[in-house]
Amino acid sequence: MTEWLKEKFSPYETHLHKFKKVVRKKRTKFQNMAIVDTYSFGRCLVLDGEIQSALSDEKIYHELLVHPAAGFCAVKPEKVIILGGGEGATLREVLRWKSVSKVVMVDIDGETVEFCKKYLEPWHRGSFRDPRAEVVYADAYSYIKNSSDEWDIIIMDLPCPLKGGPAFKLYTLEFFKILKKRLAKGGLLVTQGGGASSVDSDFHFALYATLKKAFKHLMSYQMFVPSFDVPWAFIAASDRRFPAGKKAWDKIRRAASGPFDTLNSQLLDALGKNPEFFKKGLNSGKIITERKPVYFFK
C-alpha cells in the first residue's frame, strides 16, 4: 500500500484517498485488512481495498442501520443478533436500546475484530465488555442455519459481496428464508444495502427484489456517507407493516438512550421516499440465489 489508497468503484472508476500512515495491515484468513489514518476522514477500516468505516462519519452509517429498526419493529427488541459488525459500532448502537437483554455479534474474522478492539476504540467504546453482549467468531451462514434461537431484530452489517470474498452466500434468497425462520413473531430484518447512486445501484435493486420474495413489507432508504463517496442504502424487511414516521420516532426515543448525531424525526419521516429513478429500479432487480450470485461495485 502506497501513500494513496486506490478504491475501485467499478471496472472503469477508481477513487483515491491520501493517508498519513498505515496503523495496521494484515492478510487474515478471510480478507485483506488495513487500519489507516487518512487526511480527509480520519482513521478508517479498509477491507479488501474498500473503506468500511471512517471515524469522521461512521455514525451516519451506524445510526441509520440500527435505530430505524427499533422504530419499525412490531415488538420491543429484547434479543438482537448482528451478523458481521467487526468494528463494534453496530454493537454500541444496539446496546443503547434499554429493552435489549441479549445481543450476539457473529463475525467470521476474529483477527479483524481483535484489531478493531485495539485500534478502533472510538467506534466500539468498550461495547465488547458489556455483559449483555456476546461475540462469536463463526461463519454467519452456518451459525444461523444450525441455531434454533429466535431474534426480535436481525441486523446484517456485512461487507458487500465481492467475487472470491466470504459474504456472497449471505445475500441470497436461500439465506433470507433461513433468517426469516429465526425471527420472532413481529420481528424485523435490516441490512446494509450497498450504494444508491444513479451510476451503480444494481446490487441494491437485486437485494430488494430478493428480500421481496421472502418478506411482505420492505423499506429501502438511503443517506449520503462522505467516506463512501455515494449515497448508501439500507433495507428493512418484515411481515408487519411499518408505522408512520412520528409513531416510529416516538418508539425510537423511548428505546434508545442518549442523543443522535444524524437521526431525527424529520429524517426518519423521509426514509423510504426515494427518487423516481430509484423507485423504478426497485421494481427491476434480479433475484439473487446461490447459483446466481450478484457481486458488487460501489
Residues 114-154 pLDDT 10s: 999 999 999 999 999 999 999 999 999 999 999 999 999 99
Same fold, 4-54 and 58-282: no
Residue type for 29, please?
A: K
All structural domains of the chain with their residue ranges: 4-54, 58-282
Q: Which residue has the higher pLDDT, 163 or 248?
A: 248
> pLDDT of 220-240, one tens digit each?
999 999 999 999 999 999 999
157 is catalytic: yes
Regarding pTM above 0.85, the answer is yes
Distance CA(156)–CA(179), nearest Å, equals 10
CATH tag, 4-54: 2.30.140.10
The percentage of the chain sitting over the pLDDT mark of 70, rounded to a whole number, equals: 98
Single out the catalytic residue among 57, 107, 152, 157.
157
CATH 3.40.50.150 correct for 58-282: yes
Beta-carbon contacts of 240 under 8 Å, excluding residues fewer than 6 positions away, are 74, 186, 188, 216, 217
Distance CA(251)–CA(267), nearest Å, equals 15
Beta-carbon contacts of 145 under 8 Å, excluding residues fewer than 6 positions away, are 178
